[in-house]
Amino acid sequence: MSEPSQSPGTGPLLELDSIRQVFHSTRESVVAVKDVSLNVGPGEVVCLVGQSGSGKSTLAKIAAGLRRPTGGQVRYDGKDVYDRRNRRAWKTFRRGVQYVHQDPYASLNPIQDVYTILSAPLLEHKLVKGADEAEQRVRELLLEVDLKPADRFISLFPHQMSGGQRQRVAVARSLTLNPKVILADEATSMLDVSIRIGLLEMLTRLRVDRQVGMLFITHDLAMAKFFGAEGTMAVMRHGAVVESGPTLDVIERPQHPYTQALLEAVPEPDPDLAQQKRAARRLQEATA
């Protein structure tokens, strides 16, 4: 965002400062992200919206440490994560910021059952002592993502679950390392609307209860409004943020023509409200 936001009383956890990403090929260079700055604080929700190709996923990968940007600084807990003199900063960042992918089929190993998927990071990072404690923690994680009773899910493989259940396992895995920030990159776009709402409600509960910061990346303004109503929103176009601010302000009083065009594309189920919105827009155009 042009003016990085900050949670009251606490510093931001994740800071993206003037991030720039250029992709070079033999024929051309694409500037996928142009000097974008945004912050995510504890328990805060930040929505990044834009159409396909606007640079959202590239920025999300940079925010998760999956790609090092061409320019700008990524800070976690106030520290430059690429500071060679401070390798601990990188490790703390990689544990603290977890990425939930759009397609759980692609991110969950198909030959591992739920227990293995969730216990592996716990054991690898020595967050549990032995198999009994690992199983206990796996059961707690399943309850946390509403996959209950845990017995029903713990031995299943990804193909034996629905899309929504798989995405909940992906969220549970992201929770294994007790992250402070979760990046959800179109994490609900492959799901039916009712399943999507359930997943977003669960993510909101995690945000509020655990004070996990959420960066929610989506092309869907209706979902951003639903999930991010209490937070801020940045609208990306051609790699740059064209508008940002409190989510409801941006949605109810869009200033940039691109945001207005994106909102036009969201179907309004209430015909009276649709009529009012058209009249308000005509008035705005006439007085502009």
- Binding status of residue 68 toward ligand ATP by CB under 6 A: no
Quick one: which segment of 35-43, 50-58, 117-125, 253-261 binds ligand ATP (CB under 6 A)? 50-58
Q: Which residues contact 230 (CB under 8 A, 6 or more apart)?
A: 45, 247
Give the CB-side neighbour count of residue 226, counting CA atoms within 13 A: 17
- Residue 50 or 213: the one with the smaller Cβ distance to ligand ATP is 50
Cis peptide before 149 (omega within 30 of 0): yes
Chain residues 258-277 in contact with ligand ATP, contact rule CB under 6 A: none
Q: Which residues contact 85 (CB under 8 A, 6 or more apart)?
A: none
- Residue 52 or 194: the one with the smaller Cβ distance to ligand ATP is 52
Quick one: which segment of 51-59, 68-76, 191-199, 257-265 binds ligand ATP (CB under 6 A)? 51-59
Quick one: which segment of 49-57, 144-152, 200-208, 249-257 binds ligand ATP (CB under 6 A)? 49-57
Strand partners, 36: 19
> Are the C-beta atoms of 158 and 191 separated by less than 8 Å?
no
Q: Which residues contact 178 (CB under 8 A, 6 or more apart)?
A: 95, 127
Report, in Å, the least distance between residue 3 CB and ligand ATP: 22
- Residue 32 or 214: the one with the smaller Cβ distance to ligand ATP is 32
CA distance 99 to 107: 10
CA distance 91 to 114: 26
Q: What single string gives the DSSP state of each residue in 96-146?
A: HEEEE-S-HHHHS-TTS-HHHHHHHHHHHTT-SSHHHHHHHHHHHHHHHTT
CA distance 57 to 155: 32
Tell me, residue by residue from 203 to 232, as one string, x for binding to ligand ATP by CB under 6 A and - for no binding. Answer: ----------------x-------------
- Binding status of residue 56 toward ligand ATP by CB under 6 A: yes
Q: Which of 41, 55, 179, 254 binds ligand ATP (CB under 6 A)?
A: 55
Q: Which of 14, 32, 36, 199 binds ligand ATP (CB under 6 A)?
A: 32
- Residue 51 or 92: the one with the smaller Cβ distance to ligand ATP is 51
Q: Which of 12, 41, 43, 50 binds ligand ATP (CB under 6 A)?
A: 50
Q: What 8-state DSSP symbol labels residue 23?
A: E
Distances (CA, A) of 271 to 76, 106, 285: 46, 39, 21
Tokens of 237: 């176009």
Q: Which of 26, 27, 28, 52 binds ligand ATP (CB under 6 A)?
A: 52
- Binding status of residue 30 toward ligand ATP by CB under 6 A: yes
- Residue 30 or 131: the one with the smaller Cβ distance to ligand ATP is 30
Q: What 8-state DSSP symbol labels residue 189?
A: T
Total chain residues near ligand ATP (CB under 6 A): 12
- Residue 61 or 281: the one with the smaller Cβ distance to ligand ATP is 61
- Binding status of residue 237 toward ligand ATP by CB under 6 A: no
- Binding status of residue 58 toward ligand ATP by CB under 6 A: yes
Quick one: which segment of 53-61, 125-133, 137-145, 162-170 binds ligand ATP (CB under 6 A)? 53-61
Residues that bind ligand ATP (CB under 6 A): 23, 30, 32, 50, 52-58, 219
